[in-house]
Chain A
Amino acid sequence: MLSFLGRRLLGAIPLVLGILTLIFFIMHLAPGDPTTRYSDPSISPEVIEQMRVNLGLDQPLPIQYFRWMTSFLRGDFGYSFGQMRPIAEILPEVLWNTLQLTLVSLVIIFGLGMLIGIYQAVRQYSAGDNVLTFVALFFYSMPAFWFALMLILIFALRASQGDWVIQFPASQMTSLDYDLMSIGEKIRDRIMHLILPATALGVGSAAGVARYMRGSMLEVIRQDYIRTARAKGLSEGRVVFHHALRNALLPIITLMGLTLPYLFGGSVLVETIFAWPGMGRLIVDAVFQRDYPLVMAASFVITVMVILGNLLADALYAVADPRIRVRQDG
């Protein structure tokens, strides 16, 4: 198993370098450069040229690429052109912001999605199953940004105008007086700020997971060994959660593995709507500002996560299904 993972990881290195090389040249093909934003008659062409020299953009593209790659291979992502500070400082801050949001939304996606899917499978064709199918399709087909705006309009604006008991903040990660709060108030404040964006991110995908889970569970609970388990007199809960769930999890595990890049890549639209300073916004801003080093560093993180996500899915598959483990070992 370990040698399998090792081989896959080694094989991924040229893939990562190839992807980064492609991104580097595609980014530089886009019109404009970081100095385009100085569109101001009072800024002389000499100043613009000096800025380009200071940023190293006066060098031919192959030399810029060689410099960037050398520095990257030494583990140095360089300086952000927009923020003019080391990218190694920027990424951890922003990654942590994104992780807070995406981890909570993952709990919603898989926790809620799996529970609903299991319920629907066990109660197939019941009124509850039909209602949940309708609701799941409703949320699944709803764009996240629109859902996010509706959440804000209802739970921030209407709640404020109607003086509701619970009102949620429309933006930011914390309140302005966060530093003055007690520990309990701080935790509550963070959760209050997380609920709307995490819900906006999670509910649509949870509906998708619920559909997967329902289909997978339905397939499993018709198997002979489930009938056997029931015949042995096991409780329904034990049959469903102990015997059926493990086998029904295989497609969900694949989904989990593929979700890893999303964990670190964030969501541009939801982060923008809730003014959440995460990876999604960072990458889009960097692309618009032609902040090449930052785009490259963020692309690297996401590329690695895609590869690791696939690896993780394979590994979890093996954990969940002994047949796969035997084949890989063999």
Chain B
Amino acid sequence: MRTTLIAIASVPVLALALPGCGGDRPERSRPPDTVTIIELADISKPMPLISETSLDSEVSSIMYRPLLASRWEDGELHYLTADEDERSLARGYEFTGPDRASLRYRMRSDARWSDGTPVTSHDAVWTMETRGDPRAASPRQAYNRQIRAFEVEDDSTFVIHFTRPYPEMLFHSAGQVAPRHLYADHDPSQLRSHPAVNSPGGGSLVVSGPYMVGEWLRGQRLVLVPNPEYHPQPTIPRIVFLPIPEETTRMIELQTGNADVMDLPFDKIDLIRTGSPEVRFETRRRRFYDYIAYNPRTHPAFEDASVRRALGLAIDVPAILAALQLGPWAEPAGGPYAPIFRLLYDPAEQAPLPFDPDEAARLLDATGWIPGPDGIRVRDGQPLRFTLSTNAGNQRRSDASQIIQQQWRRVGIDARLQTLETNTFFDRLNSREFEASMAGWGVGLSADMSDMWTGDRPFNLTSFSDPEVDRLFDLALGQPTEEEAAMYWREAAGRIVAAQPYTWLFYFDQVVGVNDRIRNTRIDTLGSYQNIHEWWIVGGAGDPDRADPTTADPDLLSDAGGSAGFAGQTNGGNGQDP
């Protein structure tokens, strides 16, 4: 008995002494020519037609070429042809037809799928047709709303006929292309269970971009390796995505050098700055904002724009930013367009509300909400009391809601805080079963915000209604270019801000920690991995100073862009930020 117990207890000790380790300090688990990226969760669907999460979209953009790659520059999106960006499938495009409501793409003929099949115009048209097929239930189906027909002229030329010219014809058509020959015989409603999507490793998922799936162990790791049919070959031979849900563990992996790239929570940035000098910070600028939505259907006080304005005036947003240590990564928000949008942001019309509790009190007095004996304002015997709900698992919002509760209390507003499980929270938010909610939006790169502020659209959370805003939306959507549409979007935003259906709290960045051994990254508003094929590792793969930079190619070190688009756009759309 004793011998058996000793034998069992000895197994780990003996194992530690197995070959390859002896008594030496173990090697780091990161191989030198591998870039390790840590994400909160695993990818879901590595296929642009059905990609669901923002990570899906980012990974899709690494694996699938778009018709036109894109770049975020001077506060707007620029589309790049194959002559300007190697990843683009289209050599050029032109608006045609008497009213310029058609768009002809001319594709390059040298692009191939990872199984050697040429990429043709049939692939592009099939992708867009399937995207619009209700059976496929593609999250980007709405991009087909204005598309009337497709016309394939030859293997490299096709035309899209739109119902009318509008500013986002490129945005809705220039995205990633999926391989028709792999999926065309498959029932579109079953795309999500296609064998190649569920077991994409070893080349079974046919792609056209710089990287393909080498291995996918669900919940453990996604390994991307260079696609042999993509030229010039990407610099880094292996990219690994690790899903690690726990924040502390993620931070330790970055601090111990086992991770190269990861999103950082704001309150950990100083810790990394002081303790890990090898980590640098890059940002995706102002793509997100937090807000409080007021639902007039469930609380009569919120029917009055003056009350909503008073609620906003009573909140000291700069103090909240200071308390939450958001520092340079955030700024007070005033409206639906963040300052990164050069054409859409109007600092006069969308200026943040000042912190003015006196004016808030005056507005509340004027609307009949008079302080009661316990300090809570009352009108017609009803106290100004409501529930402010937010989702669990977001410490920033939880902290901010408690500060706001105190600030409102000082002007006689009684907010009861409620934290709900994320699914329950969004279900109630979308079905408008809330009084006031604190949530966040990831800002889309499209200017079109009509789905959030029109009639009974599902994301018009506050049931906002203004015929003049609807008219401005129609005018904007009827313009041929984004420049011409911008003035209408701006004016509509100004009217929405004046009505204060939300209190816009703050725009904030996504801060990304990058180990300094990884170079030539371009992480900006468009995304984190837009030029991942051009990254290189100091002293490793692609280092121009290395004696034998086996995979380095001078052309790869040139500046190029990310991809936006239609099928699996790189963060092109709006989305709730959990």
Check A277–B218 contact: CB distance below 8 A.
yes
Complex CA gap A290/B15 in Å reads: 41
Check A173–B423 contact: CB distance below 8 A.
no
Check B422–A288 contact: CB distance below 8 A.
yes
Interface membership of B235, Cβ < 8 A: no
Complex CA gap A277/B449 in Å reads: 39
**A-contacting residues, B280-311, CB 8 Å:** none
Q: Which residues from chain A contact B134 at a C-beta distance below 8 Å? A: 46-47, 50
Q: A41-B459, A156-B252, A274-B249 are in contact. List 8 more A-B contacts (CB 8 A).
A: A30-B423, A39-B430, A42-B139, A79-B193, A82-B44, A169-B29, A177-B34, A241-B1
Q: Which residues from chain A contact B9 at a C-beta distance below 8 Å? A: 111
Q: Which residue of B lies closest to A237 (CB)?
A: B2
Q: Which residues from chain A contact B256 at a C-beta distance below 8 Å? A: 156-157, 160-161, 170
**A-contacting residues, B6-52, CB 8 Å:** 8-9, 12, 15-16, 18-21, 23-26, 29-31, 34, 36, 44-45, 52
Q: Which of B243, B249, B451 contacts A152 (CB 8 A)?
A: B249
- A176/B240 contact (C-beta < 8 A), A50-B134, A149-B248, A156-B252 known: yes
**B-contacting residues, A34-73, CB 8 Å:** 36-48, 50-51, 54
Q: Max chain B CB contacts within 10 Å: which of A43, A85, A175, A289?
A: A43
Interface membership of B93, Cβ < 8 A: no
**B-contacting residues, A113-166, CB 8 Å:** 115, 149, 152-153, 156-157, 160-161, 163-166
Interface membership of B142, Cβ < 8 A: yes
Check A182–B19 contact: CB distance below 8 A.
yes
Q: Which of B30, B189, B427, B430 contacts A176 (CB 8 A)?
A: B30
Complex CA gap A171/B449 in Å reads: 41
Interface membership of B398, Cβ < 8 A: no
Report 29 cross-chain contacts, Cβ distance below 8 Å, ordered by A residue.
A30-B423, A33-B427, A36-B423, A37-B423, A44-B142, A47-B134, A47-B139, A50-B189, A51-B137, A82-B44, A85-B193, A90-B218, A163-B25, A167-B26, A169-B258, A170-B249, A170-B253, A170-B256, A171-B242, A171-B244, A174-B220, A176-B31, A177-B31, A180-B31, A185-B18, A188-B18, A242-B1, A275-B246, A277-B220
Complex CA gap A282/B9 in Å reads: 31
Indicate with 1 or 0, residue by residue over A93-120, a CB within 8 angstroms of chain B CB atoms: 1100000000000010001000100000
Q: Which residue of B lies closest to A94 (CB)?
A: B219
Q: Which of B193, B249, B459 contacts A275 (CB 8 A)?
A: B249
Q: Which residue of B lies closest to A39 (CB)?
A: B576
- A42/B21 contact (C-beta < 8 A), A85-B193, A241-B2 known: no
Interface membership of A231, Cβ < 8 A: no
Q: Which residue of A lies closest to B189 (CB)?
A: A54
Q: Which residues from chain A contact B248 at a C-beta distance below 8 Å? A: 149, 152-153, 273
CB distance from B53 to the nearest CB of A (A): 8
Check B138–A47 contact: CB distance below 8 A.
yes
Q: Which residue of B lies closest to A107 (CB)?
A: B8
Interface membership of A17, Cβ < 8 A: no
Complex CA gap A149/B251 in Å reads: 12
Interface membership of B268, Cβ < 8 A: no
4 A-B pairs with least C-beta separation: A277-B219, A175-B29, A32-B427, A41-B451
Interface membership of A181, Cβ < 8 A: yes
Q: Which residue of A lies closest to B194 (CB)?
A: A84
Q: Which residues from chain A contact B44 at a C-beta distance below 8 Å? A: 82
Check A288–B423 contact: CB distance below 8 A.
yes
- A176/B451 contact (C-beta < 8 A), A191-B15, A195-B12 known: no
Q: Which residues from chain A contact B428 at a C-beta distance below 8 Å? A: 31
Q: Which residues from chain A contact B5 at a C-beta distance below 8 Å? A: 111, 115
Interface membership of A192, Cβ < 8 A: yes
Q: Which residue of B lies closest to A51 (CB)?
A: B137
CB distance from B521 to the nearest CB of A (A): 20
Q: Which residues from chain B contact A94 at a C-beta distance below 8 Å? A: 219
Interface membership of B108, Cβ < 8 A: no
- A188/B15 contact (C-beta < 8 A), A40-B576, A167-B26 known: yes
CB distance from A119 to the nearest CB of B (A): 12
CB distance from A78 to the nearest CB of B (A): 11
CB distance from B290 to the nearest CB of A (A): 15
Q: Which residues from chain A contact B218 at a C-beta distance below 8 Å? A: 83, 90, 93, 277
Interface membership of A75, Cβ < 8 A: no
Interface membership of A184, Cβ < 8 A: yes
Interface membership of B140, Cβ < 8 A: yes
Q: Which residues from chain A contact B249 at a C-beta distance below 8 Å? A: 152, 170-171, 273-275
Q: Which residues from chain A contact B233 at a C-beta distance below 8 Å? A: none
Interface membership of B426, Cβ < 8 A: yes
Interface membership of A281, Cβ < 8 A: yes
CB distance from B119 to the nearest CB of A (A): 26
